[in-house]
Amino acid sequence: MTANQVNIYPSGHIEMAASIPLIVNPASGKGDSFQVAKKVKELLSGYEVRIIQTKDEADSARVGREIASENPDSLIIVGGDGTVNSVCQSFIDHPETKILVVPAGTGSDLARCFNITSVEGAVKALSGRKTTAIDAVMCHTGNGNRLFMNILEVGYGAEVMKRVNSVKNRTKRTFFTSSIREVFRLKSHSLTLEGDFGKIDIRTPEIVIANGRYFGGGMKASINSSLSDGILDLHIIREIRKLELLLKLNKLVKGTYVTDPAVTNLQTSKLSITGDSAPMEADGENFGNVPVELEVLNKSFTFYHL
């Protein structure tokens, strides 16, 4: 198909076909992401799809910058949350580019926020042409700035992700087993939080800062959060014993932990965290330690969804 042919989609929508870049990190998930990418291209036979392979997260960021300079109408990213995050860093100034996430990583939790859980679902989302504008969150740290779109964790969750990311052949079960193992190394941090709620001093092993709804391969981090409301949902776990946290891990999986008396829930449009040098992870990638300042960037990305 040439770039000047016309496609008629199932919805009756007509538009000019154009080359769609597809960025894939073959190392994502179980290492089968490239096969997923080829399947996507096969299923999107009515489109001109151009596959670009990357070597790692750093290379994904480099390729993202190159593709962003082309200002494409649509972009397909095949991989996990880390790959999506790395590529999207370069598209913060391109809200007109419509991004399709094809889940192929261990977690793929951002795709789940768009109700995309399979290759077929992703293809249906692009063909259906439904899009949504979402917020991103800029993290200002002493080591530079970084965006996240889904979840940021401070403390325990960051240690869990460090363990998860150290496993070569990860599965969805890796998140749960890593969560259990990190309970036995649990430690609390003395932190000061400032936001729309004022200023509070806390001692906590874990803070979940949610823009999206899922983490850890489908665990319900903040089930009522919205990617497009300009608000961050904070779930702060008070200082508790290791055994108590171990017994409540199932609540973390189901998302019911937010109603537990041990959890304080707050909302804010901006946030500053100072105090102990607690580790952080965002969208499945470890990226340094507190202090950090978070700034919500309203409607800064456009994604396909079901």
Highest mean pLDDT, choosing among 11-15, 178-182, 265-269? 265-269
Q: Mean pLDDT throughout 183-192?
A: 96
pLDDT in tens, 88-144: 999 999 999 999 999 997 789 999 999 999 999 999 999 999 999 999 999 999 888
Residue 79 token pair = 């991989």
What's the pTM?
A: 0.90
**Residue in 301, 298, 294 with CA at minimum distance from that of residue 196:** 294
pLDDT in tens, 37-80: 999 999 999 899 999 999 888 898 899 999 999 999 999 999 98
pLDDT in tens, 255-306: 999 999 999 999 999 999 999 999 999 998 999 999 999 999 999 999 999 9
**Residue in 110, 106, 105, 102 with CA at minimum distance from that of residue 148:** 110
**Cα–Cα distance for residue pair 103/81, rounded to 1 Å:** 8
- What single-letter DSSP state applies at residue 259? G
**Cα–Cα distance for residue pair 265/50, rounded to 1 Å:** 44
Residue 78 token pair = 């095949």
Considering the four listed CATH numbers 3.90.550.10, 2.60.200.40, 2.60.40.1730, 3.30.390.30, the one that applies to the domain covering 139-298 is 2.60.200.40
Let me know: does 126 contact 305? Beta carbons within 8 Å. no
**pLDDT above 60 for 14:** no
**pLDDT score of 212:** 97
CATH superfamily of 6-129: Probable inorganic polyphosphate/atp-NAD kinase; domain 1 (3.40.50.10330)
**pLDDT score of 208:** 98
The torsion angles phi and psi of 294, rounded to 5 degrees, stand at -110, 135
**Cα–Cα distance for residue pair 200/218, rounded to 1 Å:** 30
Give the pairing of strands 144-148 and 131-141: antiparallel
Q: Mean pLDDT throughout 162-179?
A: 85
**pLDDT score of 140:** 96
**Cα–Cα distance for residue pair 220/240, rounded to 1 Å:** 21
Let me know: does 248 contact 175? Beta carbons within 8 Å. no
Domain boundary assignment for the chain: 6-129, 139-298
**pLDDT score of 1:** 34
**pLDDT score of 74:** 97
**Cα–Cα distance for residue pair 281/148, rounded to 1 Å:** 10
User: Is the alpha carbon torsion for 227, 180, 85, 38 positive or negative?
Assistant: negative
User: Is the alpha carbon torsion for 4, 6, 11, 13 positive or negative?
Assistant: positive
Taking the alpha carbons at both ends of the chain, their separation in whole angstroms is 26
Give the pairing of strands 270-275 and 189-195: antiparallel
**pLDDT score of 10:** 37
Of 4 and 188, more confident: 188
**Cα–Cα distance for residue pair 121/183, rounded to 1 Å:** 35
Cβ neighbours for 243, distance < 8 A, ≥ 6 positions apart: none
Which region among 28-32, 60-64, 246-250 has the lowest average model confidence (pLDDT)?
28-32
**pLDDT score of 217:** 85
User: Is the alpha carbon torsion for 63, 139, 263, 183 positive or negative?
Assistant: positive
